[in-house]
Structure 1
Amino acid sequence: MSDDTLPEADRVEGAPHPRETERLFGQSQAEAGFLEAYNADRLHHAWLMTGPRGVGKATLAWRIARFLLATPIHEGGGLFGDAPPTFDTLDISPDHPVAHRLLARSEPGMFAITRSVNEKTGKLRDMITVDDIRGLTHFLTMSAAEGGRRVVIVDAADEMNVNAANALLKMLEEPPALTTMLLVSHQPSRLLPTIRSRCRELRLTPLEADDMTAALAQAGAEDNDDPALAALSSGSVGEAMRLTRLGGLEMYQEIVGIFATMPNPDRPRALKLAEAAAARGAENRFELLLTMFDTFLARLSRTGATGVPPLPEAARGEAEVLQRLAPNPHKARQWAEIAQEISSRTRHGQAVNLDPAALVLDTVFKITETALR
């Protein structure tokens, strides 16, 4: 199987890979933080990109890699004591040789670590293993003789198993010369404290509506200016792409429609939704459906706590349903509690391979029970 046909753990299906994404929207503060350190000649050997999934952490990591590998190392001093140049952008021309080599995955100074493919099954592993880190050791040994900068991206660092994390920690404790490590992390609390302490953090935030629209247009998403898409994706381009690809907007509309008839929810409609989630090959849609239920309950809780439904509406008639089911803070607490219970029940059900349709109907039942309480 060639590199072009292997699945990539760091690519959102239907979207360009982060190495192929030219512009990064909505994260100017994080970019400025890196450039400030670079211009002051305080380039840290390890950086931790944190923030919600899908807001551009991997894109920033590849932008930094492209910048570092394409920017000559300033020797300092010189005959006339020339000052190093300063930079106000990470932009590198797409015609630059480094940009071409990165796209072709042939840049000798670049090494990317993601969940690798199990050769026996042809599927991605669940974790980054110590063998993946051993590949980094070989890369650093071989590339040291060539000189120049080297950049390592780990995406996502949260996915390292214990042995892999300990192997990477040894490299962070004794960083190789002219090597910059960029760790992408959706949940930094899952990393070893010793790994976090050896990295400088760049925190990325959810995108505002205009930046979201621009980022989705760049990724080739349809209906990229739909207010419902922005509402349900919570400022995450990656999540918006998943919603678009798997029909998330229609799915959420069905959930709102089912509970619009409370106290007697539309059971045939719920059964149809459950059966669709249980269809063979619909695992990704089922996972998204569970996320949509979580989102619905979160928006219910917020409505009760604040007294007003979140804006913009994520489905037709949503505001009326939310206000009717969560009229006060007391009800908001009930919805928050049931959200935790449902999440725990569904994740346990997945772990023991319960029927997806049964899990969906159980979720509908629990929400109905709380509404009637």
Structure 2
Amino acid sequence: MTSFLGHEKQQRIFRQAFDKSTLHHAWILAGDQGLGKAGFAEQAAKFLLDANHDPDHFSKQVDNQTSHLMAAGSHPDFRILKRGPKGDKEEKKARDHGLDSLEEQELARNIKIAQVRLLQPLFNSQPSISSYRVVVIDAIDDLERSGANALLKNLEEPPKNTIFLLVSHTPERLLPTIRSRCQVLRFDPLDDEQMQQLLREKAPKLDEVEIAALVAAGEGSPGRALRFVDAGLAELDDIAKAIMRSGDNNNALKTDLARKLSLKAATPRYQAFIERVPNLMAQHIKSSDQSDKIRQIDCWREASDLAAMAVPKALDSQSVVFRLSSLMGSLAQSDRRA
């Protein structure tokens, strides 16, 4: 879970509602992916389930029974719904190493209606050891349509002392009937100073050059930046920018980069690179004072499409890297022709 650094406003709104006894029964935690919404939901759940409702749950780790039970997945008044394993092989891996050990491609596409139905025993009884029951859905965007309709019944007639915390990256796509029954709490990107502070805390071995590269790549999203920690992003950024400046006409940089990132051990770096390229190209185009913008934008569009389909379609990594590098190089060629 990511830190809540920078989300003091959201903490204040939630706590004020609690203190005034006006806490809504369902909250949509809305914002871009990686901002810390799931972490906020976890800490809000700890706050509600704690017998003393200790506000320290929002700012630091509290070592008490509530935290221990939630960490063990055995708190009787807490449930979290997430996408489960895709198949039997992935389910065994999840049992052995935990659900968080699964990669994106090992998870089911949706949160199933069966997972929503498993909440009913919780609603049919009184809270066991807490004054509240808390249900977190991370993310409700992943809930299949039949599951959303099943959940809607609980939101329309909420069980007493039950709070729903619904993480959403695209709240505008949720059923209007669900949105209308929830209070929306919006999360904003962190500023550069907050991102730097968080990265120094979470990855203390990074140097300042690496932190600067991660801050730029994260674009205010700590979760996004932290995914790139082990990717050597500063080096990849330097190579990409060199290609865009020079065009790399002899293909030396492109070929070397494609070779390095096609190795199986380089998979995290490869994924970081293809995700980063469209943003780097967009920054280059914005800063360019040349007139050939239409061609540059066409190159950026092709790179964005290729980056988006590369992993889902299992495209050859070496070919993908070389083509993306060529598209970056064409920006320099465009600049020289103008």
Structures share fold, TM-score greater than 0.5: yes
Task: Verify the 8 A CA contact 2:82 2:138 in the aligned structure 1.
Answer: yes
Q: Give the residue type in structure 1 aligned to 2:304.
A: S
1:357 maps onto 2:318 in alignment:
yes
**2:8 is matched with which residue?**
28
**2:75 is matched with which residue?**
107
Inter-partner Cα distance in structure 2 for 1:63 and 1:146: 18
Q: List per-residue Cα deviations over 1:49-102 (Å, max 9, x = no partner).
A: 1222222111111111111111559xxxxxxxxxxxx97984577133212322
In the TM superposition, 1:41-120 aligns within 5 A as 41-71=21-51, 90-91=58-59, 94-120=62-88
**1:134 is matched with which residue?**
117
In the TM superposition, 1:157-168 aligns within 5 A as 157-168=140-151
CA shift for structure 1 position 351: 4.5
Inter-partner Cα distance in structure 1 for 2:207 and 2:83: 30
Inter-partner Cα distance in structure 2 for 1:164 and 1:277: 40
**1:343 is matched with which residue?**
304
Gaps of 5+ in 1: 1-17, 74-85, 304-325
Which of 89, 96, 116 pairs up with 1:121?
89
CA shift for structure 1 position 250: 2.0
Q: List per-residue Cα deviations over 1:167-196 (Å, max 9, x = no partner).
A: 222222221111111111222233223222
1:327 maps onto 2:289 in alignment:
yes
Q: List per-residue Cα deviations over 1:177-235 (Å, max 9, x = no partner).
A: 11111111222233223222222111111112332233223324432753222122112
**1:210 is matched with which residue?**
193
Task: Verify the 8 A CA contact 1:67 1:92 in the aligned structure 2.
Answer: no
Residue-pair matches, total: 317
1:250 maps onto 2:218 in alignment:
no
CA shift for structure 1 position 151: 0.5
Task: Verify the 8 A CA contact 1:35 1:88 in the aligned structure 2.
Answer: no
The alpha-carbon distance between structure 1 residues 127 and 266, as it changes in their structure 2 partners (threshold 3 A), is farther
Gaps of 5+ in 2: 91-105
Aligned with 1:121: secondary structure?
Answer: helix
TM-score normalised by the chain length of structure 2: 0.82
Inter-partner Cα distance in structure 2 for 1:227 and 1:282: 22
**2:279 is matched with which residue?**
295
The alpha-carbon distance between structure 1 residues 48 and 260, as it changes in their structure 2 partners (threshold 3 A), is same
Aligned with 1:24: secondary structure?
Answer: coil
Inter-partner Cα distance in structure 1 for 2:21 and 2:218: 38
Q: Give the residue type in structure 1 aligned to 2:255.
A: L
Inter-partner Cα distance in structure 2 for 1:200 and 1:268: 54
Inter-partner Cα distance in structure 2 for 1:265 and 1:131: 56
CA shift for structure 1 position 145: 7.0
Which of 37, 49, 56 pairs up with 2:17?
37
Task: Verify the 8 A CA contact 1:301 1:333 in the aligned structure 2.
Answer: no
**2:139 is matched with which residue?**
156
Inter-partner Cα distance in structure 1 for 2:307 and 2:58: 43
Q: Give the residue type in structure 1 aligned to 2:320.
A: L
Task: Verify the 8 A CA contact 1:152 1:179 in the aligned structure 2.
Answer: yes
Aligned with 1:133: secondary structure?
Answer: helix
**1:312 is matched with which residue?**
none
Inter-partner Cα distance in structure 2 for 1:213 and 1:372: 35
TM-score normalised by the chain length of structure 1: 0.75
Which of 157, 174, 181 pairs up with 2:164?
181
Instruction: Give the structure with the higher percent helix.
Output: 2
Task: Verify the 8 A CA contact 2:277 2:303 in the aligned structure 1.
Answer: no
Inter-partner Cα distance in structure 1 for 2:179 and 2:300: 31
